[in-house]
Structure 1
Amino acid sequence: MCPPELSGLSSTSSSVTKNTPRSARRRSIGRDSSSKSRRNSNQISPTSMIFRNLLIMEEDLRNQAREQKKLRWQYTGFLSCLAGVAAFSIYELYFSDVVVKGVYRFFLQFTICFISITLVLFHLSGQYKRTIVIPRRFFASTNKGIRQFNLRLVKVHSSWDENLTDMIRFTMNAFSDSNIWLCEEILTFWKPIVLLRFWHSVKLRCQPRIGAIDVKIVLNPRAFSAEIREGWEIYRDEFWAREGARRRKTVNEAKS
C-alpha cells in the first residue's frame, strides 16, 4: 500500500509522460497524414473516377477483342489450308486428265478421309463455335452485356495512311530488333556503339500506336450530355498521350 503522496506523484508523472512533445508530435503527424489522405481522396472528382474505370474496362475489352480476332484468324487459316488440300486431292482423283494410280492414289484418298474426319470432329467438339462463331459475334455479345450501363463498344476504322504507317512502324521495329541483336550478340568483338545507338533510336521512333486505335467505348448520347462525352474523349486522349511518352522514355532509359 503506497502513500497518497506517491500515488499522486505517479499519476502526475504518467500525465506528464502522456503530454510530452514526442507524443504530441506523433498525434499531430497522425492527424496530418489522415487529413492529407482525406484531401487526396477528395481531390479526385467522381467524374475522373468514372472515366478511370471506363478506361480500365476499355483496355480489358480491347485485349479481349485482339485475342478473339487472333484466334479467329488462326483457325480460319487452319481450316482454309485443310479445305485447300482436300480440294486439290479431289481434283487430282476425279477431275484431272491424268489417271492417278498406285501409292499416290492411296495417299490422296487417305488425305481426303483424314481431312473429312478432322472437320467433322472439329465441328462436333465445339471448337468451331469457340474459335470461329464466338469471336465473330464478340462485339454483339459485348454490347448486349454493357447496354445496361449506356455504353457501346465500337470498332475504330483507320485510314489507309494510318494503316500504311502502322505497317512501316511494325516492319522497322522488327528490323531494328534484329539489327540490335546482331550488334549485341554476333558483333561483340567489334562493339559497334554507333550502330547500336542508331538502331535504338530507330526503335524508339517506330513504337506502335497505342490507345483507341482499334476499339473504343462510346457513351450513349441519350443518357449522357455532349459535355460528358467530350470530356471522356479528352480524358482518354490525354491519358494515352502521357502513356506513350512514358513508354518512349522507358525505352530510351533502357537503351542508355
Structure 2
Amino acid sequence: MDQSGELSVGISENGPKLASKTGSNVVTAEDAVSEQKGFPVVKIEQFAEFADQTPLKGRRRPIKTPHRSGTPSQPGSGPGTATTTTRRRRSSSRSSSKNLKSSTEISPASMIFRNLLILEDDLRRQARQQKALKWQFTLFLALLLGLAAAAFYELFFSQEPVRGLYKVALQFALIFILVTVVLFHLSGEYRRTIVIPRKFFASTNKGIRQFNVKLVKVRSSLADLSIDLVRWLCRTAASVNLAMARKFLPARMAEKSGTIRFWDAVALRSQPRIGAIDVKLVLNPRAFSAEVREGWEIYRDEFWAREGARRRKQVNETGS
C-alpha cells in the first residue's frame, strides 16, 4: 500500500511522532503543530463562558451552566424558564387573537344580504323621490291645463260676451299658459319629471338584471293605507302647531310648555312605517334556490323588526 499512502507511528527521543507516508513525503506531529501555531487555541472553560453570552433566539434548548459564585440556582430563575414563559405568553396571545377573529367574522351570506339590504334601501329612496317628482309636476301641468281650459271656455263658449279688461286678462293668461306648456315640453323637463319617473321600475330592473335581482312594488292593504293617512295627518298637524308655538311663545316658555311636549310626542309616535312597505328586492328563482330566497326574506324582516324596536325605544325615552 505504498502508492495509496499509510500512517505510521514512531517513537523518538523527543516523543512520539505521527508520520504519514504518501509516496516519499513524511509529515511528523511536530511539523503539524508548528504549522497550526498561527490559529487561536480556545480552551473548554473559555468556550463555556462565551456560551453564556449567546442570544436566546439562537438556542432551541436551554443549556444549564454552572454558577461561578457557588450559590445553588433557584428553580424557575434560569434563562430557559424565561424563554418558555415568553413562548407561553406568545402562544396564548396568538390563540386569543385567533378566537377573537373567529368570533368577529361575518359569514359570506350575511355580507351579501347586508349589501342587498343597502341596495334595496337606496332604490326605495330613489323610487320615493321619483314618485314625488312625478306627482308634483303632474299636478302642475293639470293646474295649467285647467286654467287654460277655463280661459278658453270664457272667451269662446260663454253665453254672455266678455269685454274690456277681463277679456284682455283671459287672452293673456291663455297665451301665457300655452307658451309655458310648449317650452316645458321642448326643454325636456316633461321627460325628466314625468316620463322617466313613470319608467323608473323598468329602467332600474334593466340595470340590475345582471345581479339576478328585481325591484317590485308592494301592494298595501286598505287598512295599512288608512293608518298611513292618519299618521301623515298627525305629523302635519304636529309640525304646524310646533312651528306656531315656537314662533309666538318666548324661548323660556317654549322649553317648559306642556303643549310643545305633547306635539313633540305626537310627531315622534306618528312616524311612517319602515321596511319593505312600498318596494322590495326579489331574488331571481332561476339563479337562487328556495332556501337562499327564504333566508333573504327572513333576514330583511328581522332587520326591520329590530330597527323598529330601536326607534320605538328611542321615542319612549324621548317622551319620558
- Alignment-derived partner of residue 244 in structure 1: 308
The structure with more helix, counted as a fraction of residues = 1
Q: Distance in 2 between matches of 1:40 and 1:27?
A: 20
- Alignment-derived partner of residue 99 in structure 1: 161
- Alignment-derived partner of residue 4 in structure 1: none
Is the contact between residue 89 and residue 108 of structure 1 (CA under 8 Å) also seen in structure 2? yes
- Alignment-derived partner of residue 122 in structure 2: 60
Return 109-118 or 209-218, whichever deviates more. Answer: 109-118
Question: Deviation at 1:30?
Answer: 7.7
Residue identity opposite 1:45 in structure 2: S
Residue identity opposite 1:112 in structure 2: L
Q: Distance in 2 between matches of 1:209 and 1:59?
A: 13
Question: Deviation at 1:120?
Answer: 1.2
Return 197-206 or 77-86, whichever deviates more. Answer: 197-206
- Alignment-derived partner of residue 85 in structure 1: 147
Question: Deviation at 1:27?
Answer: 9.4
| Equivalent residue runs for 1:1-256 within 5 Å | 32-33=96-97, 36-37=100-101, 39-41=103-105, 44-179=106-241, 186=249, 189=253, 191-193=256-258, 198-256=262-320
Question: Deviation at 1:248?
Answer: 1.9
Q: Distance in 2 between matches of 1:108 and 1:130?
A: 30
Question: Deviation at 1:61?
Answer: 0.3
Given the superposition, is the C-alpha separation of residues 255 and 180 from structure 1 closer, same or farther in structure 2, using an over 3 Å criterion? Answer: farther
Is the contact between residue 151 and residue 220 of structure 1 (CA under 8 Å) also seen in structure 2? yes
Given the superposition, is the C-alpha separation of residues 97 and 182 from structure 1 closer, same or farther in structure 2, using an over 3 Å criterion? Answer: closer
Greater RCO structure (CA 8 Å; 6+ sep) = 1
Is the contact between residue 137 and residue 193 of structure 2 (CA under 8 Å) also seen in structure 1? yes
Question: Deviation at 1:29?
Answer: 5.5
Task: Give the % identical residues.
Answer: 57
Question: Deviation at 1:75?
Answer: 0.5
Question: Deviation at 1:214?
Answer: 0.5
Question: Deviation at 1:36?
Answer: 2.1
Given the superposition, is the C-alpha separation of residues 92 and 197 from structure 1 closer, same or farther in structure 2, using an over 3 Å criterion? Answer: closer
- Alignment-derived partner of residue 61 in structure 2: none
Q: Distance in 2 between matches of 1:129 and 1:65?
A: 16
Q: Distance in 2 between matches of 1:111 and 1:56?
A: 48
Is the contact between residue 172 and residue 206 of structure 1 (CA under 8 Å) also seen in structure 2? yes
TM-score of the superposed pair, with normalisation by structure 2: 0.66
Return 170-179 or 48-57, whichever deviates more. Answer: 170-179
Gapped runs of 5+ residues in structure 2? 1-49, 59-78
Question: Deviation at 1:85?
Answer: 0.8
Q: Distance in 2 between matches of 1:182 and 1:84?
A: 34
CA shift digits 1:5-57 (9 cap, x unpaired) = xx9999869x99xx8x99x979966874465235412xx11111111111000
Is the contact between residue 179 and residue 199 of structure 1 (CA under 8 Å) also seen in structure 2? yes
Q: Distance in 1 between matches of 2:55 and 2:109?
A: 54
- Alignment-derived partner of residue 3 in structure 1: none
